[in-house]
Amino acid sequence: PGPGVRGRPADRRYGAGWREAVAAAAGALQAGGLVALPTDTVYGVACLAQDSAAVRSIYSLKGRNGGKPLAICLGDVERLYRYCQVNVPDELLRDLLPGPVTLVLKRSEELNKDLNPFTSLVGVRIPNHPFVRELARACSGPLALTSANISCQASTLTVSEFQDLWPQLSLIIDGGPIGDVQSPECRLGSTVVDLSVSGKFTIIRPGCALTSTVEILKQKYGLISESA
């Protein structure tokens, strides 16, 4: 399918449509394309994080400031250790992931040097959405993931809301509306928390899961909050 063609709805978990959509999206990504897809918070646009040309395409698609980092997206917590230096307990990672949280950690040498070359840190997402996780597992390296909207515009909860981006996308996976389209809270995106300093955490973006995230970090793990 050409640009602007939507995949089958992504919530058909075990049907052929689901497998076809994952395979089509993986193929588009491996070919250097950009794929729009549903996550557990808002619609996102993904490319292969290790593909420098595709990373540049995402910045130009969004009109995004080149100094603004992209997060990486993985299918499982185990894969995180390959691309990040982890200094928190594995159990903490599993308490927050998969979920609507981006964990900022020190990056490892494995990660593409052209991805966020201006920082030694990287944000990691494992969305609590079976389609994205399945797609991430189907690709050899991490996905680079950002919200499906022009920079500084509102996040999108349906595919029609980012219609102006369709012509530049290789594939659009329509998973239906995400959350409550009428609720501003649903458009907040993930809670972004910096865990790169041992024993501390810094909230970079409050996002949609602030209270539960802070509770886990403080009450259960005794981390100390630093202000951003």
pLDDT at 46 over 50: yes
d(CA 157, CA 163): 12
Question: For 49-69, what is the mean pLDDT?
Answer: 94
The residue behind tokens 């395409």 is: 57
Domains along the chain? 16-177 (3.90.870.10)
Tens digits of residue pLDDT in 103-120? 999 999 999 999 999 999
CB atoms near residue 166 (< 10 Å): 16
Q: What is the mean pLDDT of residues 159-173?
A: 95
Q: ∠ CA 98-129-142 to the nearest 5 degrees?
A: 70
Average confidence (pLDDT) over 180-187: 87
Q: What mean pLDDT comes out for the span 133-146?
A: 96
